[in-house]
Amino acid sequence: MAIFEQQTSRSGNAATRALSVTTVGTDFVEKVYQNIAQVYDYTYGPTLHPGRLEAIKKMRISPGTEVLEVGVGTGINLSLYPETATVTGIDLSSKMLQKAQGRIDEKGLANCNVMEMDATKMTFADNSYDVVYAPYVISVVPDPVAVAREMYRVCRPGGRVVILNHFKSANALMSKIETAISPMTVHIGFTADLDLPEFLKQAQLKPVSIEKVNVPKIWTLITVVKD
């Protein structure tokens, strides 16, 4: 899930600072996910699984659907896709990708492949995929807006951009708590105070649905249909 190779300063740019009080650099993000690769499936697996299942439903996958998963990590989602879909996963963490490839080999997931790539400058052509999905990724990357725009670019017209992530609560008290703890939560893989309305505005995304998932329902599932 550490999917960037570009360098980002600790202060970040104006757009990123408006989204969160916590700005991280590429090297930091990659180090976090290299460190948690061995335990990711156990710590983030069962608790976040209901959201993964809901995301798959929102994709409306039919035979022949081409899916791009941004931040594929250990490949924990790969066995959830129908065998009739073709799935490509990208990530920057070599340790995560090793585990993902191991999962593909072990489970015989011939419809899946993974590769190392920077999500802010994907090498895919415009309109390459029917579904572009980012599970639990956007709140930790150095430039979430750039990732979202790239996701939209490589999605085909009529296709779906699906984002599953934690965003800052609309509740005033919870929002203050999340802002306060965000500099600490980043060490376990996500910022706690990413601002959803501002993120959607800057990324120029117009969702057809936004819903809460998992228990407790502090995670958000966003579905966008590309014009």
Least confident of 26-35, 142-151, 170-179, 218-227: 26-35
- pLDDT category, 10, cuts 50, 70, 90? very low
pLDDT-above-70 percentage for the chain: 76
pTM of the model: 0.82
Per-residue confidence at 198, pLDDT binned at 50, 70, 90? very high
Give the CA distances from residue 130 to residues 108, 157, 160, 172, 197, in Å, rounded to whole numbers and listed in that order.
23, 8, 6, 37, 25
pLDDT of residue 59: 98
Residue 216: asked if its preceding bond is cis (omega within 30°), the reply is yes
pLDDT score, position 158: 98
Calculate what percentage of the chain has a pLDDT beyond 90: 63
Q: Residue 200 has what pLDDT?
A: 97
* pLDDT tens digits for range 54-108: 999 999 999 999 999 999 999 999 999 999 999 999 998 888 899 999 999 999 9
Predicted pLDDT of residue 23:
57
Which pLDDT value is given to residue 40?
A: 55
Of 12 and 140, more confident: 140
What number of helices (H) and strands (E) belong to the chain?
8, 7
Q: Quick one: pLDDT band at residue 4, thresholds 50, 70, 90?
A: very low
* The two structure tokens encoding residue 40: 């990711």
Tens digits of per-residue pLDDT, 103-160? 999 999 999 999 999 999 999 999 999 999 999 999 888 899 999 999 999 999 999 9
Q: Tell me, what's the pLDDT at 19?
A: 79
The pLDDT of residue 193 is 86
User: For 181-210, what is the mean pLDDT?
Assistant: 83
Average pLDDT of the chain to the nearest whole number: 84
Phi, psi for 100 (deg, rounded to 5): -65, -45
Q: Which domains are seen in the chain, by residue range?
A: 14-225 (3.40.50.150)
Please report the pLDDT score of residue 70 as a whole number. Answer: 98
Tokens of 88: 């490509």
pLDDT at 6: 32
- As a whole number of angstroms, the distance between CA 21 and CA 48 comes to 24
